[in-house]
Chain A
């Protein structure tokens, strides 16, 4: 199945801004991070369909996953 992955800030370096990524049926966010070669501890904010989520969350087809390192400001 395919999910939409949005990467931000330094996660874009050597990767992409937005891409459709193929993940195995029933795969978790942890599996996706492995595929993207992003270490779990680097992740500051993790959203699935705009909602706070965890690396254990199981992904569904067409989910939108947004990944940020820990950034802030304002």
Chain B
């Protein structure tokens, strides 16, 4: 057994029963692991039509076969469940050290099912697995909970994954935090954990992930480490400026969504950029498990110390809210980390509220906090705190921009796809990336097929970002490859330097397979179709493969090549065709059979 541990842990919180099950390795390889294998178990065991916050939904913590191995940037784990925010399948991916520790404890995956009567947490120490009371931690912030549980474990090297008060309250923008500052951020996975009365999972392991072909592994890992080191992005840009090095790049291209996507350029972006962060607030770089890139930022503002903000966070709270006060963005980000909120959806929901306020939908007398005015530092910090605390109007914001805007009869002002808020790239100036937003299986998401790489950064080759030609095929291939990278347990950022063949070589050497690149990409396509089928059964289909009307009808303002709209309708039929789906976006029986999903 190499790469995989060959064992999964099943914890039934309703009955208190804990079982250790053998993992079918042939099945695991078919779906790679992590996101793919977790999605397989969810689709097998949960009715897609289930209420996401009911005891019938399951919460799966899945690592990949390379998680915790000697491969670089292999600290990833994924949370797979049905999303209460979007109603789609959810898979939120996080770094840090928790995932690698779970593998060291001997498990590929934890499946949590049922619901506990009282607040509890799961303690895993190699073979010893217990459900313990979390009464002491309930209501506590992420940092407080982490301190308490480390003390209770009596082992400073244990790894803590927890929800904050936002997850306890089942707020739809709640995330799951691990190692204090890393987040399985999107799709409201923290609310599902809260609905099970599960506060945390503490893990300690003493084992090691085995390697099938040590000599081959040594050779390929040396090669990819060298490539990561020599690559301009992974070797230089990300270590020096973190993910926010992208602020000025995207802004100069005129696709930096400003004031809830009303404009494509933020005049004072440089004041809230990666360069400014490095100059003014950076204390040091932080790396996840086995990562040579170290893009994490430890920062300090007055008495607030923490990590981040990352590019998407920085954008959501600055340009999208019209705020150019970096200290305020760091404070808002800190509240998200402490209460356990998705930074992208929280910042953009405040931006949406600001537009609703500007246009007179939200009246000054109905809110119990600072005026929701674009540009207000006070508003972004205080409303984030109130969201996390579920206080007054803050609780309404914490249900996300779609439900907020819809409650005022203005759903189109929510800049979301499938009710998940879109991140920091205006699709009107990057046609392929917009198609990726529209078709992502979890909704408005940039990390399911990052078309910014070819359309803006020129990786692996430069595409004309305003053209729609051939973009459907590109999006499909990027989505399939990304599904594989996620599922192996490697960080997606390695793909700035590595190509499909490198992932194949690492997988083959560590797991002991003989995959061809084609077989690997087919596994990615299998995962994509599995997710799509879950969504269709959940009632989320082609009607929701769309973008907000603003992006399709209102020409972009104050961006490069003003006047552009997104041309989704020209690309979507071709995308369905590329995928072997019918005109309604449903995978054909024939295609499913070819992929082994019939």
| CB neighbors of A among B529-564 (8 A) | 559-561
A74 in contact with B236 given A8-B275, A50-B252 (CB within 8 Å): no
Q: Are B452 and A74 in contact (CB under 8 A)?
A: yes
A51 to B559, CA, bound (A): 10
Assuming A72-B245, A73-B243, what are 9 further A-B pairs, CB within 8 angstroms?
A17-B270, A45-B249, A51-B561, A68-B252, A73-B246, A73-B311, A74-B243, A74-B311, A74-B424
B240 within 8 A of A: yes
Q: Are A69 and B232 in contact (CB under 8 A)?
A: yes
Residues of the A chain whose Cβ atoms lie less than 8 Å from the Cβ of B295: 73
Chain A, Cβ-Cβ closest to B312: A74
| CB neighbors of A among B457-482 (8 A) | 457-459, 462, 465
Q: Are A44 and B457 in contact (CB under 8 A)?
A: yes
14 A–B pairs (Cβ distance < 8 Å), ordered by A: A6-B252, A8-B252, A8-B275, A9-B240, A9-B241, A9-B248, A9-B274, A17-B270, A47-B253, A50-B253, A71-B241, A72-B496, A73-B245, A74-B446
Chain A, Cβ-Cβ closest to B559: A50
Chain A's interface size range is: 20 to 34
Q: Which of B237, B275, B450, B560 contacts A12 (CB 8 A)?
A: B275
Q: Are A47 and B237 in contact (CB under 8 A)?
A: no
Residues of the A chain whose Cβ atoms lie less than 8 Å from the Cβ of B311: 73-74
Q: Which of B240, B252, B496 has the most CB of A within 10 A?
A: B252
Q: Are B457 and A70 in contact (CB under 8 A)?
A: yes
Give B contacts to A, CB under 8 Å: 232-233, 236-238, 240-246, 248-249, 252-254, 270, 274-275, 295, 310-312, 423-424, 446-447, 450, 452-453, 456-459, 462, 465, 493, 496, 559-561
Residues of the B chain whose Cβ atoms lie less than 8 Å from the Cβ of A10: 236, 240
Q: How far in angstroms is the closest Cβ of chain B from A37?
A: 19
Q: How far in angstroms is the closest Cβ of chain A from B70?
A: 25
A72 to B457, CA, bound (A): 7
Q: How far in angstroms is the closest Cβ of chain A from B39?
A: 23
Chain B, Cβ-Cβ closest to A70: B232
Q: Are A71 and B270 in contact (CB under 8 A)?
A: no
| CB neighbors of B among A41-74 (8 A) | 44-45, 47, 49-52, 66, 68-74
Q: How far in angstroms is the closest Cβ of chain B from A54?
A: 11
Chain A, Cβ-Cβ closest to B273: A8
A44 to B231, CA, bound (A): 12
Q: How far in angstroms is the closest Cβ of chain B from A46?
A: 10
Residues of the A chain whose Cβ atoms lie less than 8 Å from the Cβ of B559: 50
Residues of the B chain whose Cβ atoms lie less than 8 Å from the Cβ of A50: 252-254, 559-561
Q: How far in angstroms is the closest Cβ of chain B from A9?
A: 6
A68 in contact with B249 given A9-B240, A44-B457, A45-B457 (CB within 8 Å): yes
A8 to B247, CA, bound (A): 10
A70 in contact with B233 given A9-B275, A45-B457 (CB within 8 Å): yes
A72 in contact with B312 given A17-B270, A45-B249, A66-B252 (CB within 8 Å): no
Residues of the B chain whose Cβ atoms lie less than 8 Å from the Cβ of A6: 252
Q: Are A71 and B275 in contact (CB under 8 A)?
A: no
A8 to B275, CA, bound (A): 8
A73 to B594, CA, bound (A): 35
Q: How far in angstroms is the closest Cβ of chain B from A62?
A: 16
| CB neighbors of B among A3-37 (8 A) | 6, 8-10, 12, 17
